[in-house]
Amino acid sequence: MAIDAPYSRKAAALAGLALAGTFLTSIPATAHSAAGGATAARAAGGRPAAHGPGVQVGAAPGVPDVPDWLSAKSWMVSDADTGDVLAAKAPHRRLPPASTLKTLFAVTVLPKFPAGSVRQVSAADLEGVGDGSSLVGVEEGGRYRVADLWRGVFLRSGNDAVHVLASMNGGWDDTAQEMQETARKLGARDTTVKSPDGYDTPGQVSSAYDLTVFGRAGLADPDFARYCATARARFPTSDGFTQIENTNRMLAGSHGLSPYPGIIGVKNGYTTHAGNTLVAAARRNGRTLLVTVMNPRSGENNAVYKEAGALLDWGFDSAGLARPIDTLRTVVRTPSEDRSGDRAKARPLTTDPVTARPEPHGSSRTSAAAGWAGGVGAVVLALAGALAWWRHGRRRGRPPEGEV
């Protein structure tokens, strides 16, 4: 049908305004992230998300202040179960990782070899161990179970044990390349692998975010979780066995520190270039938190452990209160028990967090969806109004010019 021109123009104007409203309301709201968290918090009348230079915290009522004395160049606090990042400072800053890179080495190589298989170590296996490396005491000609080698990696950060396992895995360079591929599959984009043991090598970097991803992926493997939680063990020698202790002082309770309550690992590291680094996990009241700390600058004894402990304390105090500022990608692994044969591979995979869990509050996807829904509703209402107006005009004796 044709519509009377004046009413047609008015109805079109109304529809146009509604359509404009659609596009305006469908612009995604700022996600509650490291970039937008402070603005969102101020708008909501809460405390800004920034707690000191470069520090981001999800603002919410009751969230305690992050300690203001932390000196690390980079750190991050996350929930290992949900993947929520609760607070961070420069989480994607690329820094030398030292032996915390062994977490990625273990995620890549550990699923391949049965714990009870035995390796007789050759001279080639130990070739290239760097000067000043931490060693567990692997000897040429010695016979070692794979489980012993992994205890050497996790407890003593033994670069000699890493070299033997990498040799079993096809060689040093191939293992570095495979670690790089694993990092990419896990969504860890800040990491460049040059030396699988974490030894200072030009161009080798990672970040607090990536190291947290590796720690979380490792904890999904029962063998990784068991090794990284072991405080003391026996290691075979030519004379029998020797007692080894975990160099992670939060776990072993050494060098003037008591074990952190609820500590379950994961891995510490140190080199001259990297300083002290640490990925630490602890569990309390059914909640598991991961903290990564890179290169504290205070010069205080045990600084990396004290700062990690303070961040874990903050995380447990903030449990259920702090809004996530980011979300780690979800890690899916095949069962670690399926390790038949030296080259059997588990598949570290990732899924989009949208398919694994609800969107964080205030995310761009959620805001966009709500905007579109509201805009479409506005169009429907406006068109309904225009039609009613036209019908009202007909009832007042203003029929259209013609009908088809």
How far apart are alpha carbons 302 and 260 in whole angstroms?
A: 13
Chain CA centroid to CA 249, Å:
23
Which of 33, 74, 157, 195 is catalytic? The answer is 157
Provide the 8-state DSSP code for 323: P
Q: Say whether both 258 and 131 belong to one domain.
A: yes
Q: Say whether both 237 and 110 belong to one domain.
A: yes
How far apart are alpha carbons 98 and 296 in whole angstroms?
A: 14
- Tens digit of pLDDT for each residue in 158-204? 999 999 999 999 999 999 999 999 999 999 999 999 999 999 999 99
Q: Say whether both 77 and 139 belong to one domain.
A: yes
Q: Say whether both 282 and 391 belong to one domain.
A: no
Closest CA to 263 of 243, 291, 235: 291
Q: Residue 66 sits in which domain range?
A: 56-356
Which of 33, 99, 207, 367 is catalytic? The answer is 99
- Considering the domain boundaries, does residue 141 fall inside one? yes
- Considering the domain boundaries, does residue 69 fall inside one? yes
The number of beta carbons lying within 10 Å of the beta carbon of residue 27 is 11
Q: What does the pLDDT read at residue 58?
A: 86
Q: Say whether both 373 and 346 belong to one domain.
A: no
Q: Say whether both 306 and 193 belong to one domain.
A: yes
Please list the pLDDT of the chain residue by residue as tens digits (404 residues): 433 333 344 444 434 433 333 333 333 332 333 333 333 333 233 333 345 678 999 879 999 999 999 999 999 999 999 999 999 999 999 999 999 999 999 999 999 999 999 999 999 999 999 999 999 999 999 999 999 999 999 999 999 999 999 999 999 999 999 999 999 999 999 999 999 999 999 999 999 999 999 999 999 999 999 999 999 999 999 999 999 999 999 999 999 999 999 999 999 999 999 999 999 999 999 999 999 999 999 999 999 999 999 999 999 999 889 999 999 976 644 333 344 333 333 333 333 332 233 333 333 333 334 344 444 444 444 444 444 444 444 333 333 322 22
- Considering the domain boundaries, does residue 404 fall inside one? no
pTM attached to this predicted model: 0.73
How far apart are alpha carbons 298 and 34 in whole angstroms?
A: 25
Q: Say whether both 120 and 198 belong to one domain.
A: yes
- Considering the domain boundaries, does residue 80 fall inside one? yes
- Tens digit of pLDDT for each residue in 310-325? 999 999 999 889 999 9
- Considering the domain boundaries, does residue 34 fall inside one? no
- Is 99 catalytic? The answer is yes
- Considering the domain boundaries, does residue 102 fall inside one? yes
Provide φ and ψ at 283, rounded to 5°.
Answer: -130, 130
Structural domains in the chain (count): 2
Q: Say whether both 350 and 368 belong to one domain.
A: no
Q: Say whether both 278 and 305 belong to one domain.
A: yes
Burial class (CB in 10 A: 0-12, 13-18, 19+), 48: middle
**Half-sphere exposure of residue 113, counting CA atoms within 13 Å on the CB side?**
23
Q: Say whether both 305 and 388 belong to one domain.
A: no
Helix%, strand%, coil% for the chain, nearest 5? 40, 20, 45
- Is 157 catalytic? The answer is yes
Q: Say whether both 320 and 370 belong to one domain.
A: no
- Tens digit of pLDDT for each residue in 314-358? 999 998 899 999 999 766 443 333 443 333 333 333 333 322 333
Which of 102, 112, 267, 306 is catalytic? The answer is 102
The number of beta carbons lying within 10 Å of the beta carbon of residue 68 is 8
- Considering the domain boundaries, does residue 43 fall inside one? no
Q: Say whether both 137 and 186 belong to one domain.
A: yes
- Considering the domain boundaries, does residue 37 fall inside one? no
